[in-house]
């Protein structure tokens, strides 16, 4: 028997229950992983609330790091004793022990500990695909990145700085603005108090930006669109303030581009996952990107963890400890 979080219905944080479950031997193509640390991500709240539908009852969580304790038939990607991390489906990471497809596991370099891995895989790979695959940033460009002091944001600030990119970040408080600047933001706009497009226009001397990365959603969508230069790209990759409502195509002003990317399609092929993870490990290993873990919770305190996450008062990365 092992401890795991399960939900029988969608709703608020209280629907999550810590229960005892039995974990059998891994099946063909599967590996059994004893989790040492788990990632806490905003996408977890989408599954819990029902925004992202899934069959119930179900586990929850997408990210973790631990040790392989058993492998099923035909597994070649990992072996017993390997230190591994993961950040993709299937859901069910909030557990002490789990069976999962071996193909989604990546081996950890010796210098990366379990807590760092659990805090960085989903967020770090998100930044990797945003900056290197969705829109390939070039030295000297200026970008707008919302929620600059969040878990994804702090990694993005450092990665952009390493690429020689000027970053205009947004934040909801003076404290978060200071944190974003500490991690590399060149300018920070307080989006609750300031007019974002006007400030972008001032900072860029009227040029605006070629790309906006927006993980906030409903509250910032129009400001993001209005901050783009002609033929600019609006990258809407999250819904922290709620999903963007339906919009007319005329919002694109005849020349703008809009995309709604996600991590899972980018990592669906194992060769892409391994390549992207290697890029992330290089950035972290070089010291150019440091992973800030600002909140740690016991797995039993997952309800409080989700409440804190949804209050948007957290900074940096958060992890659960089984």
Mean pLDDT of 67-73: 98
Mean pLDDT of 245-250: 93
CA distance 102 to 250: 45
Res 276: pLDDT:
97
Res 317: pLDDT:
85
Q: What's the length of the chain? A: 322
- Mean pLDDT, the chain, rounded, equals 95
- Residue 156 and residue 180 in contact, taking contact as beta carbons nearer than 8 Å: no
Last residue within a domain, chosen from 260, 276, 305: 260
197: domain range?
139-260
Last residue within a domain, chosen from 260, 283, 308: 260
Confidence band of 316 (pLDDT split at 50, 70, 90): confident
Res 68: pLDDT:
98
State how many domains the chain has: 2
Do 175 and 207 belong to one domain?
yes
In a domain, 33, yes or no: yes
Confidence band of 42 (pLDDT split at 50, 70, 90): confident
Res 239: pLDDT:
84
For residues 313 and 273, the model is more confident at 273
- Residue 123 and residue 152 in contact, taking contact as beta carbons nearer than 8 Å: yes
Report the Cα–Cα distance between both ends of the chain, in Å, rounded.
14
CA distance 142 to 156: 13
Mean pLDDT of 146-165: 95
Do 143 and 256 belong to one domain?
yes
Do 256 and 271 belong to one domain?
no
Confidence band of 241 (pLDDT split at 50, 70, 90): confident
The DSSP letter of residue 27 is: -
CA distance 108 to 84: 5
Mean pLDDT of 197-218: 97
Residues of the chain above pLDDT 90, percent:
91
Do 252 and 288 belong to one domain?
no
Do 105 and 23 belong to one domain?
yes
Residue 233 sits in a domain of what CATH number?
Answer: 3.40.50.720
Mean pLDDT of 11-23: 97
**Complete DSSP assignment for 164-201:** T-EEEEEESSHHHHHHHHHTT-SEEEETTTS-HHHHHH
The answer, yes or no, to whether residue 171 has pLDDT greater than 90, is yes
Do 148 and 101 belong to one domain?
no
Last residue within a domain, chosen from 228, 260, 292: 260
Residue that is written with structure tokens 């409903």 in the block: 218
Do 308 and 256 belong to one domain?
no
- Residue 33 and residue 98 in contact, taking contact as beta carbons nearer than 8 Å: yes
The DSSP letter of residue 95 is: B
In a domain, 129, yes or no: no
The DSSP letter of residue 243 is: P
CA distance 66 to 97: 9
Q: What's the alpha-carbon Rg for the chain, to the nearest Å? A: 20
Pick from 68, 75, 115, 84: nearest CA to 296? 115
In a domain, 245, yes or no: yes
Mean pLDDT of 121-147: 97
Mean pLDDT of 260-284: 95
Cα–Cα separations (whole angstroms), residue 41 to 73, 106, 166: 32, 19, 26
In a domain, 302, yes or no: yes
Determine the distance from the C-alpha atom of residue 186 to the mean position of all C-alpha atoms in its chain, rounded to a whole number. Answer: 22
In a domain, 114, yes or no: yes
Q: What is the pLDDT of residues 71-127, one digit of tens each?
A: 999 999 999 999 999 997 799 999 999 999 999 999 999 989 999 999 999 999 999
Confidence band of 1 (pLDDT split at 50, 70, 90): confident
Do 149 and 246 belong to one domain?
yes
Mean pLDDT of 7-12: 97
Do 115 and 192 belong to one domain?
no
Res 127: pLDDT:
97
- 41: number of CA atoms within 13 Å, CB side? 31
Do 111 and 22 belong to one domain?
yes
The answer, yes or no, to whether residue 197 has pLDDT greater than 90, is yes
Phi, psi of 149 (to 5 degrees): -100, 5
Kindly give the pairing relationship between strand 317-321 and strand 30-40: antiparallel
pTM score of the predicted model: 0.90
Confidence band of 305 (pLDDT split at 50, 70, 90): very high
- Residue 266 and residue 68 in contact, taking contact as beta carbons nearer than 8 Å: no
Res 215: pLDDT:
93
Q: What is the pLDDT of residues 220-238, one digit of tens each?
A: 999 999 999 999 999 999 8
In a domain, 134, yes or no: no
Residues of the chain above pLDDT 70, percent:
100
Res 243: pLDDT:
85
Res 288: pLDDT:
95
In a domain, 307, yes or no: yes
- Which helix (H) or strand (E) segment is 161 a member of? helix 151-162
Three-state SS at 70: strand
- Which helix (H) or strand (E) segment is 284 a member of? helix 270-285
Res 25: pLDDT:
96
Do 175 and 246 belong to one domain?
yes
Mean pLDDT of 283-289: 94
In a domain, 215, yes or no: yes
Do 168 and 106 belong to one domain?
no
Buried/exposed 207-216: b ≥16 CB within 10 Å, e otherwise:
ebbbbbbbbb
Mean pLDDT of 240-254: 91
- For residue 247, how many other CB atoms are within 10 A of its CB? 12
């Amino acid at each position: 028997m092992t401890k795991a979080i399960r939900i029988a219905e969608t709703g608020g944080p209280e629907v999550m229950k810590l229960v005892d479950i039995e974990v059998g031997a891994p099946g063909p193509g599967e590996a059994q992983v004893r989790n040492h640390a788990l990632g806490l991500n905003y996408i977890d709240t989408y599954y819990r609330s029902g925004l992202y539908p899934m069959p119930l009852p179900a586990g929850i969580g997408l990210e973790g790091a631990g040790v392989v304790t058993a492998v099923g038939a035909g597994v070649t990607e990992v072996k017993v004793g390997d230190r591994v991390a993961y950040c993709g489906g299937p859901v069910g990471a909030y557990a002490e022990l789990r069976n999962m497809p071996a193909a989604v596991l990546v081996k950890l370099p010796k210098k990366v500990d379990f807590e760092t891995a659990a805090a960085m895989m989903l967020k770090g790979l998100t930044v990797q695909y945003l900056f290197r695959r969705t829109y390939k940033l070039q030295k000297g460009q200026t970008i707008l990145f919302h929620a600059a002091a969040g878990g994804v944001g702090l990694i993005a600030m450092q990665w952009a700085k390493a690429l020689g990119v000027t970053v205009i970040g947004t934040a909801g408080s003076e404290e978060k603005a200071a944190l974003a600047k500490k991690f590399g933001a060149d300018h920070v706009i307080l989006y609750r108090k300031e007019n974002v497009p006007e400030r972008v226009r001032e900072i860029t001397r009227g040029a605006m930006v070629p790309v906006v990365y927006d993980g906030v959603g409903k509250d910032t969508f129009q400001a993001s669109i209005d901050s783009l230069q002609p033929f600019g790209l609006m990258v809407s990759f999250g819904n922290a303030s709620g999903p963007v409502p339906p919009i007319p195509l005329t919002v694109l002003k005849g020349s703008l581009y809009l995309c709604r990317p996600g991590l899972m399609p980018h990592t669906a092929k194992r060769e892409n996952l391994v390549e992207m993870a290697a890029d992330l490990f290089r950035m972290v290993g070089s010291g150019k990107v440091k992973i800030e873990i600002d909140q740690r919770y016991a797995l039993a305190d997952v309800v409080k963890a989700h409440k804190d996450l949804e209050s948007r008062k957290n900074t940096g990365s958060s992890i659960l400890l089984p």
